[in-house]
């Protein structure tokens, strides 16, 4: 299932070339992940209140077309891999204003306790485990 996250690019996100700096796309992926959790019915804050953290293991990006200040963009995210401890997401960032694909990306993550030791989601948070299975 695809999850959508949309907003406009802010001025502070741009660089001297008047385009959004490449590092901000990674921030947008995180915003989309947080929004995805909300839409799944299990907000990030709830997970963290249980002592579960979700560190990033890797980020892969491929840039196609720039987003500029004021452009509306949409991040589409989808869960592509989940084994109970690790998961991966794929993303597409589309420049809605210009009707162009701006970025394709993939991130991988794991679930840990507050000491950053891996945990099995099925054991520590079965409700979210079942949601991840449902959206795979």
Residues designated as active site: 15
Angle at 93 (CA atoms; ends 34, 68), nearest 5 degrees: 110
Backbone torsions φ then ψ of 133, nearest 5 degrees: -60, -40
* CA distances from residue 35 to 2, 7, 92, 99, 131 in whole angstroms, order as listed: 12, 12, 15, 23, 15
Helix ranges restricted to H, the chain = 22-40, 44-49, 121-124, 126-135
């Amino acid at each position: 299932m695809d999850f959508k996250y949309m907003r406009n690019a802010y001025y502070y996100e741009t660089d001297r070339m008047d385009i959004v700096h490449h590092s901000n796309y990674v921030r947008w992926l995180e915003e989309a992940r947080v929004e995805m959790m909300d839409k799944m019915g299990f907000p990030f804050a709830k997970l963290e209140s249980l002592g579960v953290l979700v560190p990033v293991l890797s980020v892969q990006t491929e840039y196609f077309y720039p987003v500029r200040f004021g452009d509306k963009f949409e991040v589409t995210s989808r869960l592509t891999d989940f084994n109970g401890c690790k998961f991966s997401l794929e993303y597409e960032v589309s420049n809605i204003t210009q009707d162009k694909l701006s970025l394709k990306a993939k991130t991988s993550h794991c679930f840990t306790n507050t000491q950053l030791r891996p945990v099995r989601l099925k054991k520590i948070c079965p409700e979210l485990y079942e949601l991840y299975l449902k959206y795979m």
